[in-house]
Amino acid sequence: MEVTFISSPPSDDEALDAYSQAVTTVAERLSPSVANLRVSRRVRGGRVLDGGGSAVVITPDGFTLTSAHVVARTDGLGRASFVDGRELEFEVVGSDPLSDLAVLRVDGRDLTPAELGDAERLRVGQLVVAIGNPHGFTGSVTTGVVSALGRSLPTRSGANVRVVDNVIQTDAALNPGNSGGALADGRGRVIGINTAVAGVGLGLAVPINAATRRIIAALMSEGRFRRAYLGIAGGPRPLPPRLARELGRKSGIEIVEVVEGGPAAQAGLRPEDLIVELDGSPIEGMDELQRVVVSELIGRAVRAKVVREGREHELELVPAELEG
């Protein structure tokens, strides 16, 4: 429910009633779709500890979305409980630590799926509702606003490090156990999966958008999400003024390190090269590079435009598949 006042400004009581009604409506609509997860996790020394988290049902036949770190280092099995009292077994279908998303399959039918929204439509200050199971308290509801958009969340899988971009920051209270739960808008649509408690009054959620929908679809159908790999480490760097005018952009990606034997090394890329274009797409920052380097590029020759010692060069490279 989104609240719009058409006539005279509301009184404080009317505004409070409208706010409360909006939150109540979202909670009633979404709580049946949010599960409390119980898992067993192996830790150092071979010990097994019980853990938990939250998850969101996305199909009636049991496909469920959670955070990858909730089910990391488990045997891929666990139990999910719902507000209607059902307790069902689940197994991990696929996990992608580099986006911190995982898909489970709950052994149940006639589950209540949540509606997935679009985080690209969010605005700072917009009402959001978080539903999860902090500290194991099933079906807990907290409210807040979108505090900021476009935050970054570093993730790791083995030796591979990636930054999840466009992460949602909210002041809705999040605590251990909320991870994998729903962050919803005022209409009850899930626009994020709660992933991290970054501080008092500061929580982060992986957005539901076109990029993460592709990841979710791949995890459901293939059990994994394939990424192309260039074999470089780098970061954004401003272009020299002349090149910035000629290319119509302000920055590129400076290569800091080239992995020996990787696709970039084989193509002749060097440290201090500035990547300004890849496969016909302008590159100004790491987010553009990550959007371009997708699974469709694996094994396909692509053109990279780089600036080296003040001059433009074009090189051909063949991205490999990133191994987890």
**Is 12 one of the catalytic residues?**
no
Across the chain, the runs of DSSP E, i.e. the strands, are 34-42, 48-57, 63-66, 77-81, 87-96, 101-106, 127-132, 140-157, 160-170, 182-184, 190-199, 202-207, 228-229, 232-238, 251-258, 274-278, 281-282, 302-308, 311-317, 320-321
* Catalytic annotation, pick one of 95, 147, 179, 273: 179
* Catalytic annotation, pick one of 69, 118, 165, 295: 69
**Is 33 one of the catalytic residues?**
no
Report residue 211: phi and psi, to 5°.
-65, -45
The DSSP output letter for 74 is B
Asked if 76 and 152 count as a contact pair (C-beta separation under 8 A), the reply is no
The DSSP output letter for 260 is T
C-alpha distances in Å from residue 192, one per residue of 42, 171, 297: 28, 14, 28
Residue in 114, 124, 120, 129 with CA at minimum distance from that of residue 185: 129
* Catalytic annotation, pick one of 100, 185, 273, 279: 100
CA distance between the termini of the chain: 41
Task: Round to whole Å and give the CA distance between 274 and 144.
Answer: 41
C-alpha distances in Å from residue 248, one per residue of 134, 251, 252, 255: 48, 10, 11, 21
In DSSP terms, 8 is beta-bridged to: none
Element (H, E) at 213: helix 210-222
Tokens 């920055």 belong to 251
**Is 179 one of the catalytic residues?**
yes
Asked if 128 and 145 count as a contact pair (C-beta separation under 8 A), the reply is yes
| Residues involved in catalysis | 69, 100, 179
